[in-house]
Structure 1
Amino acid sequence: MAIGGEWHVVVLLLLCTAFPAVRSDASDHKFKVGDPVPLYANKVGPFHNPSETYRYFDLPFCSPGNVKDKSEALGEVLNGDRLVSAPYKLDFLADKESEVICKKHLSKEEVAVFRSAVAKDYYFQMYYDDLPIWGFLGKVDKEGKADPSEYKYHLFKHLHFEIFYNKDRVIEINARTDPNALVDLTDDKEVDVEFVFSAKWKETNIEFDKRMEKYSHSSSLPRHLEIHWFSIINSCVTVLLLTGFLATILMRVLKNDFVKYAHDEEAADDQEETGWKYIHGDVFRFPKYKSLFAAALGSGTQLFTLTTFIFLLALVGVFYPYNRGALFTALVVIYALTSGIAGYTASSFYCQLEGTNWVRNLLLSGGLFCGPLFLTFCFLNTVAIAYHATAALPFGTIVVIFLIWALVTSPLLVLGGIAGKNSKAEFQAPVRTTKYPREIPPLPWYRSTVPQMAMAGFLPFSAIYIELYYIFASVWGHRIYTIYSILFIVFIILLIVTAFITVALTYFQLAAEDHEWWWRSFLCGGSTGLFIYSYCLYYYYARSDMSGFMQTSFFFGYMACVCYAFFLMLGAVGFRAALFFVRHIYRSIKCE
């Protein structure tokens, strides 16, 4: 009981720190006239490279003497947030008219730094009472100039804040720059700059509880909703066509097979069997590399559970716009807490396949997804460190993640594996397996694994590709995605199409007397992940303006991990559907 109590304490602590409310120093967000409202500068970076962000004061801005780092949760650090106290002083209901922050003398080197930032279209991000603020650092004057060497580079020096309030709460804030207050950075010469800001307070009737709704309006515009619903209709048509196709197979072809086999058993026992019944003695022969297969099934099942929980949290409103780091925190914590599912599923199925080295299977289950993810992280974190970007995780955060893995993920994986090993479940095969396998007849090229995977992945991908653009534009851009209900419907359609197409291809494989369907069904189910990665290439080169080694590495590195996760998850779904189908058809006939 003591051990169980300790585990409850660990889980409780994790859950308490998993979804911290995004709070300011004023915990209730209520202020009196003249009260200081927390304003934090977050980061700067190229607008088209969302992963390449730097600390605000990495640029030679006016730095207040008492710069304070804001304490951040795990998810905020993973998101690349590095909040520090901003130089602007915006007290509640205190209008300001062109107040000078500081007078700064920019050296030639500092002018070059700012010019490079303006040339790369740098933006800044701040938070005022947890409301996001954006703005650009400057502008490039290209008008009438064909030669880039003739461009003019200007830095904005006046920032005006427009703040809306309702009674004693801040509701909305906008920041705009004065187009006439510019500093010429074109030449390599020293410049004196006066950084100025002003503020204007306005009253509004918007309730405090609805102040974040404006950030989700862009994804709820009629034009965007129309595209989302078109995506769902397209997916539903795909499902209906595939369902009708499979219904034809199951209701006509299989029914005819059952009638024929029943007639053959009554009329002529010596008649030669053909088709899928002919291989009844081999269809449940255990696959090669059973330990790897069970580990892949366990990892895929865990990732499916993780995705389901993420959707549930999204549907109840946890991931509202600019709830900084909530998604990353949820991914880390839920993955850690669901590792027991991977251990149980892999170990239980491995023992059903008469495997003996369950410890090796458990280690394989734990490293099948975490291993490639860890190697990718090590490489990308090294790149971020070399760039001095905020995407580089501090040593303390890495220690926290390691402790979560060591104290939660690994023990739950082992406990799940022990429970799976002791479950004593037996593999339910409706027919006996012969001692020696039958030889698989020569098959045409299009019945081999790779063409079958291409066919299996295309239909599920076609059902989701319209929605993919909005997801990519949100994750790898600045578009806000909040229509999680539509995304959940698309996800359900993806699962259905994956299961159905895998069942159809498994039937055709068995009808061709190819009994090695285990790995084929998993690979065909997971092949959608390969199509998604192919879409990554299209999105990067045709739909985005991302550039540079760091951004390219982050995009293709982390998307490879995401697509690999989809491969394992959908592979597990495809295999489970195929296993259910194969058991059903062989249970419906009598086999010697």
Structure 2
Amino acid sequence: MVGIKRNGLWWLLSPLIISHAQAFYIPGWSIKSYKEGEHIPLMVNKVYSDNTQLQYAYYDLPFVCPPAGRSHASGLLSGQSISLNLGEVLRGDRIKISDIDLTVGHDNKCNFLCDQQVTRSDLRRARELVKDGYVAEWIVDNLPGATSFVTVDKSRKYYAAGFKLGFTKYDSSTGKPRYFLNNHHTIVIRYRTAPGHAGEGGGKVVVGFEVYTKSVGPNNKRENGCPVELQEIDDNFELYMPPNKTEDLVLEEQRPENHHDYLDEGDDEDTITIPYSYSVYFREDNSIEWDKRWDLYFVNQEEGSRIHWLAIINSLIICGLLSGIVAIILSKTIRTDIKGYKEASMEAGRKSKPAPRPRTPKLEKHSLGLLEQENEVDNLPNDASDDEALEDVTGWKLLHGDVFRRPQYGHLLAPLVGSGTQVLFMAIGLIFLSAVGVLNPSFRGGFLSFGFGLFVFAGLFSGYFSAKVYKGFGGVNFGKNALITACFFPGLLFALVFILNLFVWAQASSTAIPFGTLLAIALLWLCIQVPLVYLGSWYGHARTSAWDNPTKTSNVARQIPQQAWYIKSLQSILFAGLVPFTVIFIELLFVFQSVWQDKSGYYYVFGFLSVVSLILIVTVAEVTIVTIYVQLCSENYHWWWQSFAVGGGSALWVFFYSIWYYFFKLHITGFVSSMLFFVYSFMACCVYGLLLGTVGFLAAYAFIRKLYAAIKVD
């Protein structure tokens, strides 16, 4: 979603928005305008890096200016926390009001912020963050502060969200790294006249928020705390504190390889002062529309669109080939088999009708002879005659008495299918809301918040489908099945998040979910989702009938012949899973880049993603049908679990891809960051596999019901 477009949903929501316009601001829908001289709050959020998965709240850093509790004209106090939705908390946001003063139309060449006293340990912490390439996120009018760039041909301008805490230089004489801190920020607010009546009254809207950083050393001349010269700075602020002892006591050749780490050794009570200052400039820019202001954050948008179209064409070709294969199977092979089976069954029925025989007088037992043998042949069951007439019947047609036999561990398969429908409903809802523009980049945390809400509400569907499958397997204790459905998969995810959180808490990172939020999630799960699952399960088990299978199951199971190597479970899962993976491979690259590599970027092409997702679902259904049909032709009727595993088989390839991506594309350092990557990747693959496994199961079940209903002979 490149721009925030007005669509039909806007007209449905507009009366509600207009009636409450003075009460609150709806990100992405209502426009906030400012008048000349009005204060605009600048909020600080967090710092993050592409080289690690650990984020930190900006005001938790010991080397930045802490909030002074200053009162702004808007009535907000610096350091005051902003209420966050669930999605913002889960993504590690910690938003607070800053001391920086922004007044519409008033430029400020330089304003002193504070002198921050830091210790040696604080200085080491600052150097670690600068070394890892951390960037800070500030927010004005819901826009993240950005670093501005231009394309190589200087034809287009674009933004990279965030700005660097500092930079690294290498000493020309020693080749060792030296780390410098950015302690002066130049803020540029771009605005234009507000549309409609607000603009006629002198209102202005923010269309751009740029931050330019400078490193000003302590030796630069200052007046009122501000550097006199900001254009030509020859002395940067180095994150270095000389040792307590005289340097001359240490010979140059005796210093360790990391020279600066050695020089930082000393009493931790020693301090150094970091001066902070900022400049503010307001610039009118009529080239940017308010509803297009996010476009600058989407790098290489046109080139990316061409790649997305290539992904869709690639997916359509694969899906088209599969559709042709399925069509051939359905229209020719299966139709011919069904016709031959019906003709053979009718012939067998005619042959099995016994001709009327004259009444035979009772004979002595010892005088039966050949007559006894004749009667024994005549009294054979009709099945013998049927088998003789149907001697040419092979493959899947022989499994009509076994194909709907209850699977082993069906009490676990039913909850998995139920949870899969729950995830499927959530995914469809999120993609739809994102494609129509309800969930957009300006709605911070909206994607996670809506996703969690849809998942909890979809507990109704989870319980219903789980109960239907469970009842079809002959289950009677729907309450136990509902409890397993409500607790098994969500409980696994919650346990993984909780254990992972213990490691992240130890790092004092804002990536850690607060204990109160974890408790709230647990209450939503246990007090809302579990009852919804139980309600859906009760309705599916008690108020609806079980799915009616077209054939009856025989008492004795058939013996399964030796299977070819490519039909065996693991091989078929891997081979079949590779096809859906090729459908999403190109789009998956963009998703991984947005989530793991470009944390400052935003994934916006949900329109393309919705098309690829639809093609993916069709492809998974077709691949599962073909795979299960081949299995049935090999007289293997254990298809229940196999269809679920084949449908979700591409999740294995996605996980293999994530491992390759970690080693060859990312530069993640640290044990905890690596653990975050692999655990979250595993959880995402579980959700993905559960969703597509359910699609494969339902597609295979519908296909087999249709297939065996067609061979019934009245």
TM-score, normalization: structure 2?
0.76
Spell out structure 1 runs of 4+ moving beyond 6 A: none
Which residue does 1:210 correspond to in 2? Answer: 291
Alignment of 1:480-519 (within 5 A): 480-519=602-641
Deviation of 1:548 (Å): 1.7
Which residue does 2:66 correspond to in 1? Answer: 63
Report the Cα distance in structure 2 between the residues aligned to 1:21 and 1:98, rounded to whole angstroms: 31
Deviation of 1:164 (Å): 0.8
From 41, 52, 55, the counterpart of 1:52 = 55
Which segments of 5 or more consecutive residues in structure 1 lack a partner in the other structure?
Answer: 1-15
Report the Cα distance in structure 2 between the residues aligned to 1:308 and 1:46, rounded to whole angstroms: 31
Deviation of 1:583 (Å): 1.3
Task: Name the aligned partner's letter for residue 48 of structure 1.
Answer: N
Describe the shift of the 1:62–1:386 C-alpha distance in structure 2 as closer, same or farther (beyond 3 A): same
Kindly indicate whether the alpha-carbon contact (under 8 Å) linking 1:62 and 1:87 is maintained by their aligned counterparts in 2.
no
Deviation of 1:432 (Å): 1.6
Which residue does 2:214 correspond to in 1? Answer: 178
Which residue does 1:310 correspond to in 2? Answer: 430
TM-score, normalization: structure 1?
0.91
Describe the shift of the 1:30–1:21 C-alpha distance in structure 2 as closer, same or farther (beyond 3 A): closer
From 240, 249, 254, the counterpart of 2:334 = 254
Alignment of 1:85-96 (within 5 A): 85-96=97-108
Kindly indicate whether the alpha-carbon contact (under 8 Å) linking 2:167 and 2:181 is maintained by their aligned counterparts in 1.
yes
Kindly indicate whether the alpha-carbon contact (under 8 Å) linking 1:344 and 1:420 is maintained by their aligned counterparts in 2.
yes
Deviation of 1:431 (Å): 1.4
User: Is 1:142 the equivalent of 2:154?
Assistant: no
Map Cα deviations across residues 56-78 of structure 1 (whole Å, 9 max, x no partner). 33232122321222221222111
Report the Cα distance in structure 2 between the residues aligned to 1:591 and 1:278, rounded to whole angstroms: 14
User: Is 1:245 the equivalent of 2:325?
Assistant: yes
Kindly indicate whether the alpha-carbon contact (under 8 Å) linking 1:70 and 1:83 is maintained by their aligned counterparts in 2.
yes
Which residue does 1:113 correspond to in 2? Answer: 125
Which residue does 1:4 correspond to in 2? Answer: none
Cα RMSD between the aligned structures? Answer: 2.2
User: Is 1:277 the equivalent of 2:397?
Assistant: yes
Deviation of 1:256 (Å): 2.2
Deviation of 1:259 (Å): 2.9
Alignment of 1:35-434 (within 5 A): 35-66=38-69, 67-133=79-145, 134-142=162-170, 144=172, 147=175, 150-167=176-193, 168-178=204-214, 180=233, 182-188=236-242, 190-205=271-286, 209-215=290-296, 217-218=298-299, 221-267=301-347, 269=386, 270-271=388-389, 272=391, 273-434=393-554
Map Cα deviations across residues 340-372 of structure 1 (whole Å, 9 max, x no partner). 111111112211221122222111111221021
Query: Based on CA coordinates, which of the two structures has the bigger radius of gyration?
Result: 2
Deviation of 1:43 (Å): 0.7
**Count, aligned residues:** 569
Taking only the aligned residue pairs, the percentage that are identical comes to 30
- What's the secondary structure of 2:578's corresponding residue? helix
Report the Cα distance in structure 2 between the residues aligned to 1:131 and 1:537, rounded to whole angstroms: 34
Deviation of 1:591 (Å): 5.5
Which residue does 1:30 correspond to in 2? Answer: 33
Kindly indicate whether the alpha-carbon contact (under 8 Å) linking 1:45 and 1:52 is maintained by their aligned counterparts in 2.
yes
Map Cα deviations across residues 301-339 of structure 1 (whole Å, 9 max, x no partner). 111111111111111212212421101111111111111
- What's the secondary structure of 1:532's corresponding residue? helix
Which residue does 1:553 correspond to in 2? Answer: 675
Kindly indicate whether the alpha-carbon contact (under 8 Å) linking 1:381 and 1:392 is maintained by their aligned counterparts in 2.
yes
Deviation of 1:559 (Å): 1.9
Kindly indicate whether the alpha-carbon contact (under 8 Å) linking 1:38 and 1:128 is maintained by their aligned counterparts in 2.
yes
Bigger proportion of residues as helix: 1
- What's the secondary structure of 1:201's corresponding residue? strand
Task: Name the aligned partner's letter for residue 299 of structure 2.
Answer: S
Map Cα deviations across residues 255-281 of structure 1 (whole Å, 9 max, x no partner). 221232233234454232311111111
Deviation of 1:137 (Å): 1.0
- What's the secondary structure of 2:490's corresponding residue? helix
Map Cα deviations across residues 431-477 of structure 1 (whole Å, 9 max, x no partner). 12111111111112222110010111000001001100111111223
Which residue does 1:565 correspond to in 2? Answer: 687
Report the Cα distance in structure 2 between the residues aligned to 1:291 and 1:332, rounded to whole angstroms: 26
Report the Cα distance in structure 2 between the residues aligned to 1:297 and 1:193, rounded to whole angstroms: 58
Describe the shift of the 1:156–1:22 C-alpha distance in structure 2 as closer, same or farther (beyond 3 A): farther
Kindly indicate whether the alpha-carbon contact (under 8 Å) linking 1:299 and 1:369 is maintained by their aligned counterparts in 2.
yes
Report the Cα distance in structure 1 between the residues aligned to 2:59 and 2:68, rounded to whole angstroms: 15
